[in-house]
Structure 1
Amino acid sequence: MEFNASQLMEAKRQIDSTLHKLRETVKTLEAKENPNRYKSQITLAKRRIEAFEISAALIEREVNKPSIH
């Protein structure tokens, strides 16, 4: 599939927003009185953070790739 720069930048903006929310979720859960109770949610959020970071990096790479005409 082909995407234009505008579509890619909007996707990255949405990913960045989701990353921010996930990071805040992890902070909140880890700060709870008994964070082990939330271990699975914390693990899931951290895995999602990693996946979104990879996606954002790949989008950034694609946007910054020199165009060959």
Structure 2
Amino acid sequence: MDYRREDLTEAKRQIESTLHKLRETVKTLEAKEKPDRYKSQITLAKRRIAAFEIAIYLIEKELEGSVQRS
């Protein structure tokens, strides 16, 4: 699929913002007095972080490719 460069750049920006919030959430939950109570939430957040990191990587690859195609 072809996406406009601006759309990819905005998507990357939004994902990076969400990633920042997720990382802060993990820090907060892990710092709680009994982090084991939040184990499933921490696991879910970490899995989402990994997924968003992959998405950013793929967006960056697409952006690099669009520069080469131009």
TM-score > 0.5 by shorter chain: yes
User: Higher helix fraction: Structure 1 or Structure 2?
Assistant: 2
Amino acid at match of 2:56: A
CA distance in 1, matches of 2:69, 2:31: 46
Percent identity between the aligned chains? 69
The aligned counterpart of 1:50 is 50
In structure 2, give the amino acid aligned to 1:18.
Answer: T
Classify the secondary structure of the residue corresponding to 1:19: helix
**Is there any run of 5+ residues in structure 1 with no aligned partner, and where?**
none
CA displacement at 1:39 relative to structure 2: 0.0
SS in structure 2 of the partner of residue 33 of structure 1: coil
1:2, distance to aligned residue in structure 2 (A)? 1.7
Q: CA RMSD in A?
A: 0.9
Q: Which runs of 5+ in 2 are unaligned?
A: none
The C-alpha deviation readout for 1:13-51, integer Å capped at 9, x for no partner, is 000000000000000000000000000000000000000
Residue 10 of structure 1 is matched in structure 2 by 10
Structure 1 Cα separation of the partners of residues 69 and 2 of structure 2: 13
| Residue in structure 1 matched with residue 38 of structure 2 by the alignment | 38
